[in-house]
Amino acid sequence: MTLHSIDLEPMSLKLDASVGHIADLKISDGDRMLSPLHRAPWADDPQAEFPEGTAPNVKRLSGDFFCAPFGRNDIEAAPTHGWPANSGWDHLEMISQEDRITIAFRLKRLVMGATVEKRLTLIAGHPFVYQEHSLTGGAGAVSVAHHVMVHMQQGGELAFSPKQSARTPVEALEPDPSRGRSILAYPANTEDITAFPLAAGGFADLTHYPPGDRHEDFITLVERKIAAYEPSEDNAGLPGWTAVSRTAEQDHVLVLKRPEVLPVTMLWMSNGGRDYAPWSGRHIGVLGIEDARASPLGHADSCGENEFTRAGVPTAFELGKERAVRIRQVLGACAKHPGEGRITDLSTKADRLTVHFDRGPARHLTFDAAFLAGG
């Protein structure tokens, strides 16, 4: 593991450059220190044993990482989630300005011939990390995704920007009962995320996590409005977003994106549903929030016609010799205040993010709306 650290109040971040994962993220909020991201129990165990062929991204599983392509690699040989999540990054520079710090890296490998760079920025007083990934040059097309992971000791409540549908793929994540369990129906599709069909009958409310015991499931949420994010001083922008309000941790974890760039959010529900190593039934209470331009069925499916593209939802970026693709995402957290209800909405203006609740006053967090607008 090769760690690089940046610190700027209230944020502290460590990147594992051997695989490009955020290994640790801490946010101070008053007298609280928040740790919003998950790190697998085996990631720091030198004695951990892995089945032959286990991808590096599983061995070092932590925080958030960038996938290109997302999921299965069936066009260009690479481990699951691509080289950005599985191989080394070279440190390029650290830029310190009056109110911000940016650290930059370049992937040691190419993706479909494209050069991949990562830039992480902290801004003084902002409870967020601002991430940009770029793919320059190359040929063909590639799907991409972030892979944010949040751990909840006692579950929590979920809220999202408006979605047009929620759907599971053709096959469950764990169809073999000798290896694990999934509880959602596969395939299934609904417009109501509070009533998603279960395999055994009945429905799950996806605004509560976990929806069941000892299960491994995967579902894709599609943005209702795949429109440009254009905030201004006087007019709130419309980012795509996910909010996780953790019960035991008493905080709100916030993930924001541009909906026209990353039009789907895939939820990986990893709650003790895998019995084989290294999971071994101990990967519990983890929610993956995977903002993406991708099909869950892999690189080739993402690059062709699929159930999403037929509905007008793009699932890949076109690469080219004179083309640069930039993907931006914002990740942060704040402590939960007494009397706050469920999150109902997030809105942005030029210098703030407002968190709205079904009871209690709205919260205003210092935020750089121009960062997402520039992606």
Tokens of 213: 């015991």
Mean pLDDT over residues 208-216, rounded?
Answer: 96
Give every CB contact of residue 53 below 8 A, 6+ residues apart in sequence: none
| pLDDT tops 80 at residue 236 | no
Total residues belonging to the chain: 375
Mean pLDDT over residues 116-129, rounded?
Answer: 98
So what's the pLDDT on residue 350? 80
So what's the pLDDT on residue 36? 96
So what's the pLDDT on residue 374? 80
Give every CB contact of residue 52 below 8 A, 6+ residues apart in sequence: none
So what's the pLDDT on residue 375? 62
Mean pLDDT over residues 74-101, rounded?
Answer: 96
Rounded CA separation 131/315 (Å): 20
- HSE toward the beta carbon, residue 63, CA cutoff 13 A: 22
Distances (CA, A) of 79 to 71, 111, 183, 277, 298: 9, 12, 27, 18, 12
Tokens of 45: 């165990």
Give every CB contact of residue 301 below 8 A, 6+ residues apart in sequence: 295, 315
| pLDDT tops 80 at residue 359 | yes
CB 238 within 8 A of CB 259: yes
Average pLDDT, the chain: 95
Mean pLDDT over residues 54-71, rounded?
Answer: 97
pLDDT digit string, tens, across residues 7-52: 999 999 999 999 999 999 999 999 999 999 999 999 999 899 999 9
Which of 139-153, 183-197, 236-250, 299-313 is the least confident region?
Answer: 236-250
Mean pLDDT over residues 145-157, rounded?
Answer: 98
Q: Is the pTM of this model over 0.85?
A: yes
Tokens of 33: 């220190």
Residue 129's beta-bridge partner residues? Answer: 122, 331
CB 202 within 8 A of CB 218: no
Rounded CA separation 353/243 (Å): 13
| pLDDT tops 90 at residue 233 | no
- For the chain, count helices (H), then strands (E): 3, 26
DSSP state of 310: G
| pLDDT tops 90 at residue 288 | yes
Q: Enumerate domains of the chain plus CATH numbers.
A: 3-373 (2.70.98.10)
pLDDT classification of 230: cutoffs 50, 70, 90: confident
| pLDDT tops 80 at residue 238 | no
* Percentage of the chain modeled with pLDDT above 70: 98
